[in-house]
Structure 1
Amino acid sequence: MYKKNQLLKICYAISLGSSYCAYAQTDTQQESGQINALEEVFITGGQERLRTLAGSGSFLDGETIAQFDSTDINDLISQVPGVYIRFEDGYGLRPNIGIRGATSDRSQKLTIMEDGILITPTPYSAPAAYYFPNVNRMEAVEVVKGPSAIKHGPHTIGGAVNLVTRPVKDERQGEFGITYGSDNFQKYRAFYGDSGEQWGYWVDALHYGADGFKELDNGADTGFERNDFNAKIRWRSKPDAEIQQQLVVKIGYADEDSDETYLGLTDSDFALTPNRRYAASQLDGFDSDHEQLHVLHSVDFNNDWSLFTRAYVQRFSRAWNRFDGFVSSGPGQAPIAAIDVLSRADAFPGLISLLRGDISSNGNRSLVVDVTNNDRDYGSRGISFNAQYDGDIAGIDHILEFGVRFHHDYIERNHTFRGYFVEDGVLVFDGVEDRQPKDLNEARTDALALFINDEFSIADLKVNIGVRYENIEGEFDDSLNNVQRERSQDVVTPGIGVHYQLSDNLGLLAGIYKGFSPAGPSSDDSVDPEEAVNYEYGLRYDNGTFTADVIGFFSDYSNLIGRCRASDSGCNDGDEFNGGEVEVSGVEVTSHYAISLGQTLSLPIDLTYTYTESAFQSSFQSSFSQWGVVNKGDRLPYLPENQLRLQVGIESANWSVTAVAKYIDELLEVPGQGALVEGQFTPSYTTYDLAADWQLTERFNVQLIAENIGDKQVIVARRPFGARPNQPRIVKAGVTYKF
């Protein structure tokens, strides 16, 4: 009845993305003859398929996540070449991730997915990723770049990140873990699942938090707490059904309560106490909750055709109450932005003293702190269909895919503020109740995306060719300024990638594709979408014990978009700016070498290195504060020239020790070239991590983890407002019980 010798067909089809079908067979399915049309959701097809992928990609499996008990996506994804991080809070609560030159600012230029579903709160209307799934509950993390990236829009210039949750497995699974660490870090994780012939489920609960490593002047907490609850229910057809189907329903809820701020330090204060928090940030806090419902259905028609359907509804609300500057002292007097005060501390000595709580306002209306509540509600919903043909066409094996996705998202902003006097280091409400909101607007987008992709092989040559079409209809309504806008965008993005197996050990790859990132609905018609023609080329070597990938990339931007956020001065949240032509190029190197130390020990060595160059191709002056005055040839900010990660371990059957060294080059904070200017770059630095793991019994596992062993702290960014440190030395110990 069944093709492929009744093997398990694991068919993954992303929303308008790549479908990949692999064939495997488990003991249970060998006995029952059952076909399962969906299991784990991989956009790369899994670790093994990466060796012949017609494009570049990285796969971080569950063991990699567990190795350092990762809760910070920044640390985990630093193992991927061509990925750049701008650190902010030290815990990765709201990561800033960029790929191959695409800006890292709040990960807004990436397509971020959970199980192939767009998970950014509003990927079209306002793509800044203020919600990012907790990586500690994931089974795997994948990153795709190159021509494969066009399969996972809307943001296709840099690449896509997919976070994969656990599948519902055929056997009962249970797990409970506890971790304690520095600054009262606590993490609790509980998981349980079971499955019968047709029905299966799991429930997953995660809580983690810390008191924070920063020291607020009034002694209050600077930490956070996160909760995450998810459940998955799976139904599949009987083993002898003529047409095999599977239905998965996943629900999730997550919340966060953190005492987090945008306010950093002056460089001189950082040099004395890098972990200090000024008194002016004592009321700062971020509260959010996220709800999701995902429904996934797959069907194998048993005639080389399969169909995958995804439907989703998601809601995210957040309120960030935080220091935002200084209130205007009267009519005709402009408010003073925080970033201006921190970047020019010598020009505002009185306000800097007020931030510290060294002086009091004493009722002076020129010394009133602005605490703004950035209150936002987000929502998204959609449905996608992917049909795949896996068979012979004209004597050539093809995997042919057709996809369509209908998507809607919206954001509602209501930014209000209050004024506070500083009295003996304490913020006291100034009594003014009727201040006008800073922002009161709504943006919404309807998007239709179509996708066709064909992957075929001729002898040792694999070719992947595809084209994507998007129609994006956006609306913006600004109630404060009585501004309404409508914007329509249509784009066609083709791409082709090839992989040629030159020998048993050596493969060559090359590709070209058009990258795209849409302009937001709040932008006017003068702002063009972000577009680039992207190239990649390289080789893969694998002799069984040693693997190496060396891949070059070149992104030729016809236009770069700068997007204003609430933390930027001189522009409104959501405003967008043209950056014109930009070129970004570089080389990515990854290698793995496993050295045998006898029958019981091995020494794995892993290296990740990225070299990057960038240059604006024209001179201009922009009111976007992250650019300002740009000269032709200037490098892009927050794009290091060199970054390297070296990992060395020693492993036995029941224990392992792993050491990691990470180096990040200087980072420009404004466009520039030539000699570095003090205060306009962050220094290079190296940190060291160590993890030890003991499998005490079949059920008990113990971990000891130390991060930043040398306690090296430097300025890693001066955004949003002032100098910010990386996390200091952190030590954690954990135990996991599986049943």
Structure 2
Amino acid sequence: MKKTRAASIFSLSLLVTALNASAQNEPKGNRKDNRDSLWSISLEDVTVTSNGLNSKIKNLSSTVNIVNSKQIKDLGIQSVGDAIRLIPGANYQDEDGRGLKPGIGLRGLDPSRNGYVVVLVDGKIPLGQSYGQLGAYYMLPIASIERIEVIKGASPVLYGAGSIGGVINLITKKGYGKPNVEGSVEAGSYGYLNASASAFGDNGKFNYYINYNRRQGDGFRSTRSAFGTNDVTFRIGTKLDNKDEFTFSGNVYTEDAETPGGLSEQQYKDNYKQSVNPFDQFYANRYSASAVYKKSIDSLNTISLSVFANYFKRNWWYDTNRDKKSILGDLRDIFTGGTVLEYNRNNKLFNLKNSLIVGVKYLGDQTNSIKVLGADPLQHVGKTTYSVTIPTNVFEGYIQDEIHFSDKFSFTPGLRYTAINYGQNNYMTAQKLSTKTDVLIYSFGFLYKPIERFRVYSTVSKGYNPPVLYAALDPGTVANGNNLGAETSTNYEVGIRTTPVNWMDISMSGYVLDFDHKLIEESGRFTNAGKALHQGLELELNVFPLKGLRVYVTGALQKATFNEGPNKGNLLPYAPKQLFTAGMQYERSIGIGTMGVNIYNTFTGRQYNDALNTEQPSPDGSNGAIPSYNLLNLAVNYKWSHWGVSATVNNMLNEKYFTHRYDFWGGKFPGAPTTVNIGLNYRLHP
């Protein structure tokens, strides 16, 4: 392992030297800048806004990747999951081919239901529950998102448990300018409709943004895949004076969706668009609210208080035996709330410029889970067979300081303490269970800037991820004295950011996640897997060879393996060795407007769904290899004055593929075939 780390760091060092020399030796007369205002998505001017960082990406001692609003529009992206494909080292697992329940994994971690990644809204507000269930079932509509920030490296200290691979920060749109309205509608294959309407504005003291989004469709599965969602998101902000700001945000979401489930090997071969689950139905309602107060004490000191809460109700009815004779209702009510108090100070310490972040955090939730067995699959009533309440309470404190020893070198140490208490009350058996855990983790970051065009950074951090609540409190573990325990890791990262010439941006990082104790989930069951090792190289490259033309590549070469036990050397479940996206984007003025064309391909390498890395598929489709697949996509748009039209073609080559296997849900989950969408949008004030 030491040789591997040394080799990775040595390789990066050679690249650093070469790029440094290129930047210094290139004659100024040969340099040209082909990126105009239409194409400049350089990291130079992007500021990360999460957890008090408020720093330009180029100056952070961690890997940061951005998907901005221009990319989202130009690529015709329909969901957050599709946008995540553009992030190096991100594995997107679309549960049912409709983008309703995205699974995202970073750096070789399991993407299933976002169980190993923290998803935040505007840097503070968790999208899912507390550490009981990091994120599942819901994702903000892409229409209300300004950009997506993915922060890796030192993320465990600022964002806590579950962020070993990184954190996904959804920056929502805010009101700006004079009062304005905009709307868009897209229609396409399989009865698809995606319609949004927004109103926003800012008069200097008061700003507002409200968006309504409706998505619906029949789904590509020939039966039982119709869906409909409604999402209302709003944000109201005010500047009480030149030192005090207050923001209130909220969200209302409803979903009514047929869930087509999985297929056996023969069913998939006969017709991968079919569904064999004629009675499965998913209903959801979500209500959330948050308030943020920020006070600038003086030019050096600020304090902020965030308070948030959400209620999520989800009723899932399905034929658990696939025998069409009975139906099971899995009913959950989830209450989540918390608060974050944070202090930021920018001053000089021992005559050195520094930026301090200190925060305390409380997260709590309660899951009420009921299972109902019904004899008639057409009636959502029956006998209660399971009734459990699970409360979770999390208390945390963190501190991080960015210290600048000079204009060229900075050092960023950090600490975080976390204490988690789980409880469970089983009303059917009158059994009560509880367990708790706590941990102190750290991170150290370094950034060196020998010249303005080039930066090298490195981080070392301790990672921590507790088991989700239903694994932590499984009666077969806690009651028998076999506590699963939490995942712990030591993480190493080294990376570069450079603009060696005016027409090129390069970001590259190498990492090692060394797990002392790893938990894995196979077909819904958690087990202790001992030591594991994640290693990888990540790349983000933008080249501007001609004015209006961008060629880009993002991706990762990675290897996540068991490091001890009978499966030593095998790949971890859902950890492909290769993840790449490559494309070309061209834009030019034509007539009264601007035409944009974007073609890009995403590649996901071979995966396995079990620790044995089983190659041969089982007849029921629940086990076996998951072959690699390519998705070639095309997006075309034309914008003029107040209007815009667009067309997207996804999976142009109509590749037949599937993303995962799950025995409980019936086997293989197929991906969507070729789909075509046509869109129209309008803005009152361009």
- Residues in 1 aligned to 2:520 and 2:602: alpha-carbon distance in whole angstroms: 29
What's the secondary structure of 1:652's corresponding residue? strand
1:227 to 230, 245, 258: 230
Is the CA contact (8 Å cut-off) linking 2:48 and 2:57 kept in structure 1?
no
d(CA) in 2 for partners of 1:46 and 1:690?
A: 36
Residue 300 (structure 1) aligned to one of 296, 302, 307: 296
Find out whether 1:550 has 2:492 as its counterpart: no
Give the aligned partner of residue 614 of structure 1: 560
- CA separation in 2, counterparts of 1:535 and 1:40? 24
* Contact 1:707 1:731 survives alignment (8 Å): yes
Matched, 1:579 2:579: no
Q: Determine which structure has greater relative contact order: mean sequence separation of CA pairs < 8 Å that are 6+ residues apart, divided by chain length.
A: 2
* Residue 699 (structure 1) aligns with: 642
Residue 469 of structure 1 corresponds to which residue in structure 2? Answer: 417
User: Which residue is 1:349 aligned to?
Assistant: none
Q: Percent identity?
A: 19
What residue number does 1:712 align with? 655
Equivalent residues of 2:64, 2:149 under 8 A apart: yes
Is structure 2 residue 473 aligned with structure 1 residue 522? yes
Instruction: Return the letter of the residue paired with 1:296.
Output: V
Computing the radius of gyration from Cα coordinates, the structure with the larger value is: 1
CA distance in 1, matches of 2:51, 2:303: 19
Contact kept, 8 Å, 1:612 with 1:640, in 2: the verdict is: yes
TM-aligned CA deviation for residue 144 of structure 1: 0.8
**Residue in structure 1 matching 2:357, options 401, 406, 414:** 401
Q: What is the distance in 1 between the residues matched to 2:231 and 2:421?
A: 33
Superimposed CA distance per residue, residues 326-370 of structure 1 (whole angstroms, 9 cap, x where no aligned partner): 5xxxxxxxxxxxxxxxxxxxxxxxxxxxxxxxxxxxxxxxx6644
Q: Alignment partner of 2:210: what SS?
A: strand
Match of 1:690 in 2: 634
2:681 corresponds to: 736
Partner of residue 335, structure 1: none
Residue in 1 aligned with 2:78? 71
The 1:170–1:128 alpha-carbon spacing in structure 2 relative to 1, beyond 3 Å, is: closer
| 2:264 matched residue in structure 1 | 266
Three-state SS of the structure 2 residue aligned to 1:560 is strand
Matches within 5 A, 1:63-102: 63-102=70-109
Q: In the alignment, is the contact (CA less than 8 A) between 1:122 and 1:411 conserved in 2?
A: no
> Number of residues paired by the alignment?
617
Report deviation, 1:410. 1.2
- TM-score under structure 1 normalisation? 0.80
Deviations 1:554-606 (A, max 9, x none): 11111112358xx73xx6xxxx432211111111111110122xxxx421011
Q: Distance in 1 between matches of 2:366 and 2:222?
A: 37
Question: Shift in Å at residue 74 of structure 1?
Answer: 2.0
Question: Partner of 2:155: helix, strand, or coil?
Answer: helix
Distance across 2 between alignment mates of 1:709 and 1:47: 40
1:20 maps to what in 2?
none
Query: Within 2, Cα distance between the matches of 1:319 and 1:428?
Result: 15
Return the letter of the residue paired with 1:292. S
Structure 2 CA distance for partners of 1:83 and 1:434, relative to 1, 3 Å: closer
AA partner of residue 295 (structure 2): V
CA displacement at 1:451 relative to structure 2: 0.8
Structure 2: any 5+ residue segments left out of the alignment? 1-45, 619-623
**Is 2:374–2:382's contact at 8 Å kept on the other side of the alignment?**
no
Deviation, 1:617, is: 2.3
Distance 1:205 1:579 in 2: 44
Alpha-carbon distance in structure 1 between the residues aligned to 2:257 and 2:105: 24
2:157 is paired with a residue whose SS is helix
Question: SS in structure 1 opposite 2:102?
Answer: coil
2:121 and 2:171 in contact (8 A); partners too? yes
Q: Deviations over 1:113-138 (max 9, x none)?
A: 11123434322223351222222321
String of CA shifts for 1:421-471, please: whole Å, max 9, x gaps.
xxxxxx678x9x87551x321111121110100012223112221111111
Report which stretch shifted further, 454-463 or 182-191. 454-463
Q: 2:544 maps to which residue?
A: 594
Task: Report the secondary structure of 2:143's partner residue.
Answer: helix
Amino acid aligned to 1:96: G
Note if contact 2:118-2:134 (Cα within 8 Å) is conserved in structure 1: no
| TM score, norm. by length of structure 2 | 0.86
How far is 1:47 from its partner?
A: 11
Q: Distance in 2 between matches of 1:640 and 1:197?
A: 49
SS at match of 1:51: helix
Distance 1:96 1:518 in 2: 18
Whether contact under 8 Å (1:185, 1:210) holds in the other structure is yes
Q: How far apart, in 1, do the equivalents of 2:364 and 2:403 lie?
A: 33
Give the 3 Å change call, closer, same or farther, for CA 303–88 of structure 1 in structure 2: closer
Q: Would the alpha carbon gap of residues 46 and 648 (structure 1) be closer, same or farther in structure 2, given more than 3 Å must change?
A: farther
1:286 Cα deviation from its structure 2 partner: 0.8
Quick one: which amino acid aligns to residue 604 of structure 1? Answer: R
One-letter amino acid of the counterpart of residue 538, structure 1: G
- Aligned counterpart for 1:414 among listed residues 370, 378, 387: 370
Q: Following the alignment from structure 2 to structure 1, what is the Cα–Cα distance between the partners of residues 267 and 680?
A: 39
Matched with 2:388 is 441
Flag the 1:128–1:562 CA change in 2: closer, same or farther, 3 A. Answer: farther
Distance in 2, matches of 1:86 and 1:463, equals 36
Which digits, 9 at most, give the CA deviation of each residue in 1:385-425, with x for residues without a partner? 111001122221111111011221111110222245xxxxx
Q: Secondary structure at the match of 1:215?
A: coil
- When residues 436 and 294 of structure 1 are mapped into structure 2, their CA distance, relative to the original with a 3 A threshold, is closer
- The corresponding residue for 2:36 is none
Distance in 2 of aligned mates of 1:128 and 1:738: 33
CA distance in 2, matches of 1:303, 1:66: 37
Q: Which residue of the other structure, out of 655, 661, 667, is the alignment partner of 2:601?
A: 661
Residue 530 of structure 1 aligns with an amino acid whose one-letter code is E
Q: Which residue pairs with 2:549 in the alignment? A: 603
Q: Compared with structure 1, are the counterparts of its residues 488 and 734 closer, same or farther at alpha carbon in structure 2 (3 Å cutoff)?
A: same
Q: Which amino acid aligns with 1:677?
A: Q
